[in-house]
């Protein structure tokens, strides 16, 4: 944990156990205390490669589902989803953009282009 980020470990030990000088403690005690840190502590998030705590991600997903329901039920314009801000992915956004047609003929022409392999 020290190699990953000593500063994050110091912050977590100070926040959780009010230990400001971990070097004055025996190594085995510091190791035990570091292992007992919460899963959403700075050092554990860093070591697991996660950007955000699971509770935050779960809350964002729930909020996005509610926004989606509001969009479907009440016809909101341009809904904003929290997960899009937390995990931006430009390629997914480009693929998910809907193509809009102003007439049935325009749709049929685009459909024929796709079916015939000439997209």
DSSP alpha helices (H): ranges in 18-103? Answer: 27-35, 42-48, 54-74, 82-86, 90-96
Q: Is residue 93 pLDDT above 70, yes or no?
A: no
How many H-runs (helices) and E-runs (strands) does the chain carry? 7, 0
The pLDDT, as a whole number, for residue 25 is 92
CA angle 95, 101, 104 (to 5 degrees): 130
Q: Is residue 32 pLDDT above 80, yes or no?
A: yes
- The answer on 44 and 13 residing in a single domain is yes
- The answer on 44 and 75 residing in a single domain is no
- The answer on 110 and 61 residing in a single domain is yes
Per DSSP, 65 falls in state H
CA–CA dist 118, 116 (Å, integer): 6
Name residue, tokens 């079916």.
115
The whole domain housing 87 covers: 54-115
- The answer on 67 and 102 residing in a single domain is yes
The pLDDT, as a whole number, for residue 47 is 87
Which residues fall within 8 angstroms of residue 11, CB to CB, at 6 or more apart? 42
- The answer on 80 and 34 residing in a single domain is no
- Mean pLDDT across the stretch 11-19? 92
Q: Is residue 1 part of a domain?
A: no
CA–CA dist 112, 109 (Å, integer): 5
Tens digit of each residue's pLDDT (9 = 90 or more) over 39-82? 889 989 888 888 889 899 999 999 999 998 888 888 777 888 89
């Amino acid at each position: 944990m020290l190699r990953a980020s000593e500063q994050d470990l110091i912050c977590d030990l100070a926040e959780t156990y009010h230990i400001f000088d971990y070097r004055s403690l025996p190594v085995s005690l510091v190791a035990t205390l570091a292992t007992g840190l919460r899963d959403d502590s700075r050092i554990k998030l860093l070591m697991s490669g996660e950007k955000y705590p699971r509770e935050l991600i779960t809350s964002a997903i729930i909020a996005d589902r509610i926004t989606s329901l509001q969009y479907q039920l009440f016809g909101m314009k341009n809904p904003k989803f929290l997960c899009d801000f937390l995990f931006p992915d430009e390629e997914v956004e480009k693929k998910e953009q809907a193509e809009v047609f102003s007439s049935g003929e325009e749709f049929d022409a685009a459909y024929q282009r796709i079916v015939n392999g000439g997209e």
